[in-house]
Amino acid sequence: MPEEYSNYLQNLNERQREAACTDISTPLMIVAGPGSGKTSTMVGRVLMLLNEGISPLNILAMTFTTAAASEMRERIGAIAGKATAKELTISTFHSFSLQLCRSHAEKIGRTSEFLIYGQGQQRNAVIEAIRLLENGKNRSKDGASLVGEESKGVLTPKQFKDKAKKWQKFVTQAKASGRTSADYCELGNEIGAEILVHYNSILKSCNALDYHDLISCSVKLLTDFPEVFRECQDSWKAIVIDEFQDTSTMQYKLLRILASHHKITIVGDDDQSIFSFNGADVSGFMSFRKDFPNYKEIRLNKNYRSTRCIVEAASSLIRNNAKRCQMKNVLTDNSSGSKIVVKECNNEDAQCAFVADKIIEISSSHSETTCSFGNIAILYRRQISGKAFQIAFRDRKIPFNIHGVAFYRKKVVRTIIAMLRTALPVCDDSSYIRVFKALLQFEKDQKKRVIDHINKISTIRKCSFILAASDIFSAKISGTFKRFGEKKYSYTSLTDYRSELTHGRKVLTTLEMISKLVLREKSISAIITSVADLIPEKYLLEKRASVDVDGGTLLNEDYDIRSVRQYLLDDVSEFLSTKFLEIKEKREISEDKGCSFMLKAFLDFLFERETENFRARRKDNENSVTLTTIHQAKGLEWDVVFIVKVNESEIPLLHDYKGIIKETGALVEEERRLLYVAMTRARQKLFILHVMMDSNWQMLQPSRFLREIPNHLLEVQGEMNIQVQLKQEAVQKENAKLNANELLKEQQFEEEVVPMPNDLLNSHITESSNELAEFEEANNGNTFLRRFNVED
Ligand code: ATP
Ligand code: MG
């Protein structure tokens, strides 16, 4: 064994080493608490596989984010050499499936150019499915949704919005769990079954797949096509998976087939399962035991990350969960460290001020425990809580990075991506519509009228949006509409009409320019730079274009066009240095094949960025404070962590976006796990803050979970101190009662989930709160929504 390998293995503890060195044909399951070195052990396992003579080209490692993937590649590269590390396939489930589906697209009824529908496009397809269902049943004459129990009345736009949102969740849940329309028929949910049928056929006719389809189509490819199965068996001779607790039923199915050779290692912690709203299902551990009966299970129980105080506090909290697959007793040899500070603040401003002041204090060189900005993180439940911190930090000149998934939800970014997409051989209507919206230099109403008109024409002529637009704008001014048998176009004045034609033509010219750019330019960087420059300033200054679209996370000034362009260019270089090489090696593609191919591969890479939850870039993190949601902080660690707004209504967050409270045992437990994940990110020092009042002067209660942490581990600051102490005893009794009822509640919850997902409550964790606004706007009687995927 090379010296570097044995050194790495020597530095692991005995159990970690035992795990890493387990015979490679034994299915291995490593279950352990946070900070116990699961990911570190997984690196050791990959080294062992390499040492046993498995080629790096035949190893598949699944991680939860591409950031985690590049981190792992780096760690392995440092030991096994960069060349070897480059040959490994380290991928997320989605990007792995995307590649598989692209390679065999025709087998799943698509062309290899298929589009991937994000949440916005998925929602529009759901709306379309609802309408098709109504039309089929001929129950509606006025266009309002009649699906569901309210079918006797006409729904307001708001009710329709809620309905569509609910059905979107339904579709997501159905796909994550692998249920088909036939399954729903059997369950007696015929409407659900029909919605699924319509939804699937809409996506098929648009040559599109959604995120979940990627996984289920991969499963289909592997089960229905023996040649695909053989190809994968030849390619992936060993598989390792980190963060196993967050795999969905379908993802597990995929793994099981891929790992028919039983050379599989899974690493996870059921107590850290926090993505059930996304279909994650911890029962995967149970299935693994059943499907790989000769498996070996190794538990790690020593926490290397956090102080004893933090480990004990987190353990006390999670102990309150009744539904745990495996009880873990996490210990640590680390020093006890200082107590966890629980701080009550009057309101969110006071909370920000406290955090900012504290950061300045601990980062100053006079402080006893000097800590650089890069070792500090602020964790919150919802994206929106990050905004106030940005303002406070900017005022105090504290560098921070919030480069999360929100970046790809930004309108400007989406517009640039849509512009790039138009240069591909196949492009969807929604990208063209987005580009027209950005490039047409009119006021909102006029813009809407023009786009509506193009849509009308394309509906009448049954052609794509861009074909209709080309026809309209290339036609002579008089007689345009007679030609299509359209009723009179309602322009306000002939001047308006002329300017509309002129501007429409300009947009077409710009689109042509983009296509030419792609043919002419030799690098994606050059294309992005030029494309970003084509966006008119007027559009950038429009409030909703440049201001955050993700519930307030990104401030205007941080993301002007220059920084947006720069961030995209950063991604280009990362893409070129890792991902593109990987694709190139696999498919023997040379760069001379032209930019169009590269562009497509790059857009696929961006898709990964969109689907993942956090991009912790080392570069970004080095000397800036991290602002992130708890979900996005998974697997990461910092010396100092502030968990903010730990209030009832935040953690646990038990109401949906309509404010309706739905408390179930399962939800409370998932929320508890969320706080557990947050607490266990801290190495040295943990602050937990809660506020007394929200911005509407509503009184807020501290989170019930705070009372589950033993008092002797806390340094409570603020008035709640006495109250917390008084309540503690009573609450412990209450919890004991609650636990007894858990199983019963679980059952009820699960029953509810089958026909209709009950996870609306969590909807605003991953989705921009702005989506509702977008939805409302999109659904406001716009007829073109019936046919097109308009996202905004
Ligand atoms: P999480 O559940 O949060 O993903 P994890 O179990 O994957 O955590 P790692 O991230 O692998 O844990 O390790 C946590 C920290 O402990 C890291 O800083 C790592 O370097 C350190 N560590 C792991 N194993 C050892 C060891 N044997 N000796 C010293 N430090 C270790
Ligand atoms: Mg880990």
Cα(35) to ligand 2 centroid in Å equals 7
| DSSP, res 242 | S
Ligand number, closest to the Cα atom of 33: 1
Model pLDDT for residues 94-130, shown as the tens digit of each residue:
889 988 998 899 999 998 878 888 777 788 889 888 8
Q: Which of 436, 430, 420, 432 is nearest to 572 (CA)?
A: 420
ipTM exceeds 0.90: yes
Residue among 428, 467, 425, 580 at smallest CA distance from 115: 428
Report the interhelical angle of 249-258 vs 211-224 (nearest 10°). Answer: 30
- From atom 18 of ligand 1, which residue's Cα is the shortest distance away? 305
Q: Which residue type does 447 have?
A: K
Index of the ligand 1 atom closest to the CA of residue 16: 27
How many Å apart are CA 99 and CA 254, to the nearest integer?
14
> What pLDDT band is residue 646 in, cutting at 50, 70 and 90?
very high
Ligand nearest the Cα of residue 41 is 1
Secondary structure of 135-195 as H, E, C letters:
HHHCCCCCCCCCCCHHHHCCCCHHHHHHHHHHHHHHHHHHHHHCCCHHHHHHCCCHHHHHH
Nearest by Cα to 503 from 438, 410, 597 = 438
User: Residue 3 C-alpha to ligand 1 middle, in angstroms?
Assistant: 22
Contacts of 220 (CB under 8 A, 6+ apart): 108
Locate the ligand 1 atom nearest the alpha carbon of residue 13 and give its number. Answer: 27
The preferred substitution site among 12, 30, 36, 677 for testing ligand 1, maximizing ligand atoms within 8 Å of CB, is 36
**Sign, Cα dihedral of 184, 189, 190, 193:** negative
* Percentage of the chain lying above the pLDDT 90 cut: 32
Question: Would the pLDDT of 313 be above 90?
Answer: yes
Flag whether pLDDT at 764 surpasses 70: no
In the chain, what are the helix, strand and coil shares in percent, each to the nearest 5?
A: 60, 10, 30
DSSP codes of every residue in 677-725: HHHTTEEEEEEEEEESB-TTS-B-PBPGGGGGS-GGGEEEESTHHHHHH
Q: What angle do CA 373, 379, 382 make, to 5 degrees?
A: 140
Assess contact for 727 and 682: CB atoms under 8 A.
no
Mutation choice for ligand 1 from 45, 300, 305, 613, CB with most ligand atoms inside 8 A: 305
Selection from 313, 524, 511 nearest residue 419 by Cα: 511
| Ligand 1 atom 2: residue of nearest CA | 34
Q: Write down the pLDDT at residue 609.
A: 63
Any idea what the Cα angle at residue 633 is, between residues 304 and 555, rounded to 5°?
145
> Model confidence over 361-390: pLDDT tens digits?
988 866 666 788 889 999 998 877 887 888
Q: Ligand 2 centre from 243 Cα, in Å?
A: 7
Pocket test for ligand 1, best of 9, 39, 334 (most atoms within 8 A of CB): 39
C-alpha–C-alpha distance, residues 418 and 775, integer Å = 19
- Binding-site positions for ATP: 32-39
For residue 712, how far is the Cα from the chain centroid?
37
Q: How far is ligand 1, taken at its centre, from the CA of residue 15, in Å?
A: 13
State how far the Cα of 599 lies from the Cα of 275, in Å rounded to an integer: 31
Ligand 1 contacts (CB < 6 A) are 12-13, 16, 32, 34-40, 269, 272, 304-305, 635, 637
Pocket test for ligand 1, best of 246, 304, 379 (most atoms within 8 A of CB): 304
* Spatial separation of the C-alpha atoms in residues 262 and 76, rounded to whole Å: 23
Instruction: Express each pLDDT in 254-276 by its tens digit.
Output: 999 999 999 999 999 988 888 77
Neighbour count for residue 409 (Cβ, 10 Å): 25
Please tell me the distance from the alpha carbon of residue 169 to that of residue 375, in angstroms, as a whole number.
37
* Residue identifier of the C-alpha nearest atom 13 of ligand 1: 37
The residue nearest atom 30 of ligand 1, judged by CA position, is 304
Show the tokens assigned to 518. Answer: 């792609």
Indicate the pLDDT class of residue 494, thresholds 50, 70 and 90: low
743 token code pair: 């199983």
CA dist 792 and 773 (Å) reads 9
pLDDT at 125: 86
Distant-in-sequence, close-in-space partners of 207: CB < 8 Å, separation ≥ 6: 110, 111, 113, 114, 115, 426
Question: 605, 578 in Cβ contact below 8 A?
Answer: no
Length of the chain: 792
- What distances in angstroms separate CA 263 from CA 238, 258, 342, 414, 752, one per listed residue? 5, 10, 46, 40, 37
What is the secondary structure of 561-625 as a DSSP string?
HHHHHHHHHHHHHHIIIIIHHHHHHHHT--GGG-HHHHHHHHHHHHHHHHHSSB---HHHHTTSE
Report the half-sphere exposure of 661 (CA within 13 A, side-chain side).
Answer: 8
Please check whether residue 644 is in contact with residue 95, taking contact to mean a CB–CB distance below 8 angstroms.
no
CA distances from 458 to 351, 357, 374, 706 (A): 53, 58, 52, 58
User: How is residue 133 written in tokens?
Assistant: 């269902």
> Residue 625 and residue 378: Cα distance in Å, rounded?
8
d(CA 784, CA 786): 5
Closest Cα to atom 9 of ligand 1: 37
Atom of ligand 1 nearest to the CA of 33: 2
How much is the CA Rg of the chain, to the nearest whole Å?
27
Q: How confident is the model at residue 781 (pLDDT cuts 50, 70, 90)?
A: very low
Q: How many Å apart are CA 682 and CA 686, to the nearest integer?
A: 6
Contact 79, 47 (CB under 8 A): yes
CB 130 within 8 A of CB 167: yes
Closest CA to 400 of 376, 365, 384, 380: 376
Q: Counting atoms of ligand 1 from 1, which one is nearest the CA of 300?
A: 6
Q: How far apart are CA 277 and CA 657, in angstroms?
A: 14
Q: Which of 195-199, 546-550, 604-608 has the highest mean pLDDT?
A: 195-199
**Closest ligand to residue 332's CA:** 1
Among residues 530, 526, 511, which one has the least CA distance to residue 438?
511
Q: Which two tokens stand for residue 365?
A: 């060189």
Mean pLDDT over 568-583 rounds to 63
Statement: residue 318 has pLDDT above 80: yes
Q: Whole-angstrom Cα distance, residue 586 to residue 601?
A: 13
Taking the centre of ligand 2 as the mean of its atom positions, its distance from the CA of residue 363, in whole angstroms, is 27
Q: Which ligand 1 atom sits closest to the C-alpha of 677?
A: 3
- Please give the number of the atom of ligand 1 that sits closest to the Cα of 635: 4
**Predicted pLDDT at 721:** 47
153-167, 509-523, 718-732, range with greatest mean pLDDT: 509-523
Q: Across-strand partners of 638? A: 682
| Low-confidence winner among 13-22, 156-165, 335-344, 477-486 (lowest mean pLDDT) | 477-486
Please answer whether residues 307 and 283 qualify as being in contact, where contact means their C-beta atoms are separated by less than 8 angstroms.
no
Q: Please check the confidence at residue 612 and state whether its pLDDT lies above 70.
A: no
Question: In terms of Cα–Cα distance, which of 116, 120, 122 is closest to 94?
Answer: 116
CA atoms of 506 and 23, how far apart (whole Å): 65
Residue 757: pLDDT band by 50, 70, 90 thresholds? very low
Could you tell me the pLDDT band of residue 741, with boundaries at 50, 70 and 90? low
Residues 602 and 338: beta-carbon distance below 8 Å:
no
**Which ligand sits closest to the CA of 637?**
1
- Ligand located closest to 300 CA: 1
pLDDT winner (highest mean) among 147-161, 621-635, 720-734, 775-789 = 621-635
pLDDT reading at 35 higher than 60: yes
Q: Where is average pLDDT lowest: 180-189, 222-231, 391-400, 575-584?
A: 575-584
- According to the model, what pLDDT value does residue 427 have? 78
- Does the N-terminal peptide bond of residue 652 adopt cis geometry, omega within 30 degrees of 0? yes
Contact 664, 748 (CB under 8 A): yes
> Which residues neighbour 686 within 8 Å (Cβ) at sequence distance 6 or greater?
310, 313, 340, 341, 640, 641, 643, 679
Confidence label for 487 from pLDDT (cuts 50, 70 and 90): very low
> Which of residues 773 and 544 earns the better pLDDT score?
544
What is the residue-averaged pLDDT of the chain? 77
β-pair partners for 627: 378
pTM for this structure?
Answer: 0.74
pLDDT of residue 590: 55
Query: What is the distance in A from the centroid of ligand 1 to the CA of 9?
Result: 13
Higher pLDDT, 525 or 754: 525
**Residues annotated as binding site?**
32-39
Ligand 1 atom with minimal separation from the 40 CA:
11
Query: What distance in Å separates the CA atoms of residue 524 and residue 541, rounded to the nearest whole number?
Result: 26
